[in-house]
Every structure is written in structure tokens, then in C-alpha cells.
Amino acid sequence: MNLYLKNLLFFLVVPGTVAGLVPLLAIAEGPPQLAGARLLGLLPLLGGTALLVACVSLFATVGRGTPAPVDPPKRLVARGPYRVVRNPMYLGVLLILLGEAVLWASPGILFYAAGAAIAFHIFIVAYEEPVLRRKFGSDYENYVRGVPRWFPALREHRR
């Protein structure tokens, strides 16, 4: 299967389910309120979507793989948003959820986002980081020393 198609499939299934299907079908009540202050929810929603698209694209072009553990990147992805924060895809999902919480004025989506953030952190620390350390060795260690896990750095990491 084409690498770009695999990345598109990942994008639709994983972030699409976590940030789209679950909160909108299971938590949201009625249509979003596209008026007044709730419109501010479009900013994180669109920003998070753009961030996800950029990251998935980098996995195909730079990493020569996908974000999915079954077809991981062949090369360490440390360009674009990955120069300022190690987990921009997860941040993109959380931004989308924040935007949805504002648009729907939904405490349920906000609580779901908090639970997702905790689950992401546990997955990253328990699985992703050890796998990346084994696979990319000193390149990954150098990257970790220069780029924070969650809060974007004020300066880009240069490799």
C-alpha cells in the first residue's frame, strides 16, 4: 500500500476516532453553537487539525513510515513541529478536543480531553519513548535532551 495512503488511513482512523468520532457521537449534545464566544473554539480545532496534518505528512516524507506502531518510521522525525516539542501529534488531538469543548460548551468533552492527555502521557512514557530509544539510540537521546516532551521550546532544536 502507498505510504501516503497508509498515513491518510492512520489519520482518519486514530485521531479521527479519538478527536472526532468519540467526542462528537458519545459526548456532544446537539449541534455546535457557531456564534459568539464559542466561535473561539474554531481556533484550537483548526490549529490542531493543521498540526496533525503537518505531522502525519512528516512521517511519510521524512520518517518513511507512519505514526502507527505496526508501520513505524524508518528515520527519526525531528523536523517541523518536532523541533520545538516531541509530541505535537498528541498536542494536535488535545487542541481539537479543546476546540470541540468550547464549540459545544461541553464539560464532558473537556473531561474526556483530560483523560486522553493522561492516557497519552502513560503511552508515551511506557511504550513510545523506550521503543524510540532502542530504535534510534544516541540520535534519539540527543533529541530528548534538546526538545521538551509536552511544552514547546522557545527555541528550535538543531540536529
Dihedrals phi, psi of 103, to nearest 5 degrees? -60, -40
C-alpha cell at 67: 505514526
Identify the CA nearest to 34 among candidates 89, 83, 86, 99. Answer: 99
C-alpha cell at 90: 498528541
pLDDT tens track, the chain, 159 positions? 687 888 888 888 888 889 988 998 888 787 787 788 788 999 999 999 999 999 999 998 999 988 888 888 999 999 999 999 999 999 999 999 999 999 988 999 999 999 999 999 999 999 999 999 999 999 999 999 999 999 987 766 565
Q: Which amino acid is at 157?
A: H
Neighbours of 138 (CB within 10 A): 8
State the pLDDT at residue 85: 96
Neighbours of 35 (CB within 10 A): 7
DSSP SS3 for 53 = helix
The C-alpha atoms of residue 3 and residue 61 are separated, in whole angstroms, by 9
Neighbours of 2 (CB within 10 A): 8
Mention every residue, 6+ apart, whose C-beta is less than 8 A from residue 79: 58, 62
State the pLDDT at residue 156: 61
* Phi and psi based region of residue 77 (left: phi greater than 0; alpha: psi -120 to 50; beta: remaining): beta
Dihedrals phi, psi of 155, to nearest 5 degrees? -120, 150
Instruction: Give start and end residues of each alpha helix (H) in 16-155.
Output: 42-61, 88-103, 107-123, 129-146
Fold entry, domain 3-146: Four Helix Bundle (Hemerythrin (Met), subunit A) (1.20.120)
State the pLDDT at residue 32: 80
